[in-house]
Structure 1
């Protein structure tokens, strides 16, 4: 499910001014910026101290100076504010590969599939707001299923950081004012004259009469907030990132046409990477539809590469995730993460080179998901379930596997209970029943005694497991253990478990 963060910077222009004049103004001093509205000067923005004194954007500057004698006034810089907002959106790429400016005072962060890397959505919002707060930038943020819902909650919820539960956009919007739908002031005033003050009241109304009375924009914004219509986000692309752009004379609709475009994009990007001596590790393919919405395909690679055929093959395999809508008018391929990659040297006499597993790893990760492709490395622990960890598929393990301790290919987590028939204390099971099926043991090897790690958990101080590798009459091999040594009750209850399959 899509998850989008809306970041609101309510005093962005004056916060920028305070950073530029660091130390020149007292923190509590009221400050406003001025702009020309026709023939008069008006307040364009106000800091928190000025807002607390009743000054608001749009107020005539003469009236503001009369209300607050000695008011600090600076020239508004809307172009500089917009450029700084774009720079801040690029800075937010640390949280997600898809961010965008939301002028004049907001940002979008598409946190889909990224929040867990920062400890969850709540932790991500806290980290974001704390970093901005230390920089002297006031901010509020919310995360929801849709950009419209996140925008509304960020600006109208009571808490500075709000996580709207998946599927909870309608409930979160119900009690918010209609202004939370990003409607023009005239439309908001018209709705309020008709007694429609809350978003929940609009949700309960029929769409057709609502559109006839107040315009199609009301219905569009409502549908965007509720997720019934797409909310476009145009992602920011760092200017220094290697990229290649294609604009099409006619919209592309078919997978075949998009596949040809991917081939051209990959060739152009890899040519630029070769000139720069770089290889791509993480890439984004951005399709721009004719209605200005975007579809983004993100791809990670096991090792840096600039092979256009390999890159195009991986991206083409993900085309099933792309909805072209009414057609794709442009496409951009961006190397979000690039690393130095020296030129390869061809062998002079046709010697066999060491096999490169990176292309295979990339294809498997594209097909099954990056989290399902890994290798297992040993960990210094006698307890089997603690004796291994997952590492990236091409990472070298720090230590080798211990010799003389055969282990099953597959460990069951957690171990599954079985009913076993055995003689005590050191005899293997004669038969055991697992998942309703009885297995008669033909051969057995053991026991291998494993003691609990008392320095980890107090409950393991006297724990004992006796492991047996057994083979049934059909040749299948299992790894069983008995909990307890058969002598002391504190060592275990003598229950049997299946822990692995050979």
Structure 2
């Protein structure tokens, strides 16, 4: 299932200007206008929302803009610089999101996110991450994902519909959008408007032959691209300095064994280039160019810089099943989109030294199967409150900081938040005799405790008097649980004296 993102940058030239001016930039409520040349005319090329509220629009003559807003101080447009910056932004998106990214001048990016959204926690997380990262550097953006780039482009610019267009929802999402959303030429949009066509639905309902006869093939082509009836290729941007290996075939290939063999050859060529540059790959993008102009993309990553041919080949081989060769693949490219200097790590200095096990290969395999965001190790945090004493860390992070206290054992499974239980216990220090959790009543056979944990009053005033008394208990079936009472059993200020379960041992 194809999933394509349109990253729309409605104020790209203005945002670039504000970033360039820094503290000298006009305030957001001040009208900002960029002026450039169209042959012999000086026209407005871009304006911010404050300028639009005063009636200014792109393509308006500069003299008319001065007449509408006396005292307007326009800035010179830099169209070439905007396009170059958009290409650099596409390279940034290629490194962070997907192996197929391209600039869609003058105001957006096209990103083929097929199979890449899970790396950011799903499609919603992918879109939110794009918008948040750009907002953090002062660039306004709206990201929309759809089965086709034509649909994503139209919804991002001309609709307030949800940012995720599912398969089967293209017609509903595009029906009432204006014809200009199809990326038709302005004179063609005017000609269609004179014939009474106003929305995409008006065109979609018409027989194709009369439309093609009167207006040419462009209308039908754009409709088919938007409705995902034909494929629209995205030519990915590439940086000249990126390490790359390429294979071009005299005859198209498609068998899985053949793909695996040439993947190994590409890895050999790329590793030779990386070795010459003293680099190791952190991310590989494998692009298979099909004869029908489609591109099948595979992205794999590593936790550390790697130049091991066997390991990199294995990572690519695990992804071959995701490649649909169609009528055949005529060209392959393998790029190290992220490459870092390769650290040399000495082995044991003596025969008695024991080398630490290298689990980076296992981490790479698991991360590329389930997503790097889902793979982590648990690191201790300096806190007495159990749910605050753990944090996620990268799987290969070096242990640092405090360690957990060995005085009292902690459960193997600690719940995200304590769950209330019904129980009976003698106050203040006796363990409960039984408890009911999730509808099951359990009789306690053994118990140990209490372990008293005080609230962290430095974090919140509400924890100034807070107390928890923890007990390790075992039921008749031999299962062991971690229960606590909120309060010391005597003073109401320390807690409501209710019981909770916080984890399980084993």
In the alignment, the residues of structure 1 paired with residue 356 and residue 367 of structure 2 have an alpha-carbon distance, to the nearest angstrom, of 22
Seen in structure 2, the aligned counterparts of structure 1 residues 53 and 122 have a Cα distance that, compared at 3 Å, is: closer
Seen in structure 2, the aligned counterparts of structure 1 residues 30 and 380 have a Cα distance that, compared at 3 Å, is: closer
Seen in structure 2, the aligned counterparts of structure 1 residues 501 and 320 have a Cα distance that, compared at 3 Å, is: farther
Q: Deviations over 1:440-467 (max 9, x none)?
A: 3222111111222223233333322211
Which residue of structure 1 lines up, in the alignment, with residue 439 of structure 2?
Answer: 436
In the alignment, the residues of structure 1 paired with residue 171 and residue 133 of structure 2 have an alpha-carbon distance, to the nearest angstrom, of 23
Kept after mapping to 2: 8 A contact 1:448/1:466: yes
Seen in structure 2, the aligned counterparts of structure 1 residues 338 and 423 have a Cα distance that, compared at 3 Å, is: same
Cα shift at 1:83: 6.1
Q: Normalized against structure 1, the TM-score is what?
A: 0.76
Which residue of structure 1 lines up, in the alignment, with residue 73 of structure 2?
Answer: none
Structure 1 gap ranges (5+): 20-26, 35-41, 60-75, 132-138
Seen in structure 2, the aligned counterparts of structure 1 residues 121 and 87 have a Cα distance that, compared at 3 Å, is: closer
- Is 1:126 matched up with 2:135? yes
In the alignment, the residues of structure 2 paired with residue 90 and residue 123 of structure 1 have an alpha-carbon distance, to the nearest angstrom, of 18
Cα shift at 1:469: 1.1
SS at match of 1:429: coil
Please provide the CA RMSD for this pair. Answer: 4.1
In the alignment, the residues of structure 2 paired with residue 206 and residue 434 of structure 1 have an alpha-carbon distance, to the nearest angstrom, of 65
In the alignment, the residues of structure 2 paired with residue 348 and residue 456 of structure 1 have an alpha-carbon distance, to the nearest angstrom, of 47
Which residue of structure 2 lines up, in the alignment, with residue 392 of structure 1?
Answer: 394
Kept after mapping to 1: 8 A contact 2:36/2:42: no
Which residue of structure 2 lines up, in the alignment, with residue 329 of structure 1?
Answer: 330
Structure 2 gap ranges (5+): 21-31, 62-76
Q: Deviations over 1:130-151 (max 9, x none)?
A: 35xxxxxxx8755342422343
Which residue of structure 2 lines up, in the alignment, with residue 477 of structure 1?
Answer: 480
Which residue of structure 2 lines up, in the alignment, with residue 148 of structure 1?
Answer: 150
Seen in structure 2, the aligned counterparts of structure 1 residues 166 and 446 have a Cα distance that, compared at 3 Å, is: farther
- Alignment partner for residue 460 of structure 1, among 435, 460, 463? 463
Seen in structure 2, the aligned counterparts of structure 1 residues 260 and 493 have a Cα distance that, compared at 3 Å, is: same
- Point out the more displaced range, 83-92 or 397-406: 83-92
Seen in structure 2, the aligned counterparts of structure 1 residues 497 and 266 have a Cα distance that, compared at 3 Å, is: same
Cα shift at 1:56: 5.3
Cα shift at 1:438: 3.1
SS at match of 2:312: helix
SS at match of 1:411: strand
Seen in structure 2, the aligned counterparts of structure 1 residues 226 and 45 have a Cα distance that, compared at 3 Å, is: farther
Q: Normalized against structure 2, the TM-score is what?
A: 0.76
Which residue of structure 1 lines up, in the alignment, with residue 374 of structure 2?
Answer: 372
Q: Deviations over 1:286-314 (max 9, x none)?
A: 22222323232222211111011111111
- Point out the more displaced range, 275-284 or 165-174: 165-174
Task: Say how many residue pairs are matched.
Answer: 457
Which residue of structure 1 lines up, in the alignment, with residue 200 of structure 2?
Answer: 199
In the alignment, the residues of structure 2 paired with residue 55 and residue 443 of structure 1 have an alpha-carbon distance, to the nearest angstrom, of 78
Which residue of structure 1 lines up, in the alignment, with residue 249 of structure 2?
Answer: 248
In the alignment, the residues of structure 1 paired with residue 355 and residue 84 of structure 2 have an alpha-carbon distance, to the nearest angstrom, of 50
Which residue of structure 1 lines up, in the alignment, with residue 283 of structure 2?
Answer: 282
Cα shift at 1:250: 2.7
In the alignment, the residues of structure 2 paired with residue 410 and residue 10 of structure 1 have an alpha-carbon distance, to the nearest angstrom, of 49
Cα shift at 1:93: 4.6
Superposition pairs of residues 230-269 of structure 1, within 5 angstroms = 230-269=231-270
- Point out the more displaced range, 465-474 or 218-227: 218-227
Cα shift at 1:116: 4.7
